Amino acid sequence: MRLLSDTLRDIGAGALNHEASEALSSLVQAVDEHGKAGALTIKINLKPAGHRSSGTLTVSYDVSVKKPSGERPSQIMWGTPEGSLLAADPRQQALDLREVPRPATELKTVNG
């Protein structure tokens, strides 16, 4: 029996081995950065390339990485009957807020 590592080097003339190595490296960095789990999947597909007894196979592959990501901010929003999202509660009246100007003279502190 031939070792899998030897076969991985032959698939795609080394392309699978190279692509999987790069994917693993980026996954290690992402897991280290975010402190969360990730996954690397290598899928090797085989199908007969000729007559059943010829032993000839067509080999294809796929490399996929599921990297962890940082926390994304969340916020509270309000849904409408039409299915829209609003940043402000549509049932609450808006207040006419304005900035209060600073007094022209300096305020004094009184000891009590």
Per-residue pLDDT of the chain (112 residues; tens, 9 = 90+): 889 999 999 999 999 999 999 999 999 999 999 999 999 999 999 999 887 777 889 999 999 999 998 777 889 988 888 888 888 888 888 888 999 888 778 778 888 6
Q: What is the pLDDT of residue 107?
A: 76
Other CB atoms within a 10 A radius of the CB of residue 39 amount to 11
Question: Which residues have a Cβ under 8 Å from the Cβ of 55 and sit 6 or more positions away?
Answer: none
Q: What is the pLDDT of residue 85?
A: 87
Closest listed residue to residue 17, CA positions, set 64, 66, 63: 63
pLDDT digit string, tens, across residues 36-66: 999 999 999 999 988 777 788 999 999 999 9
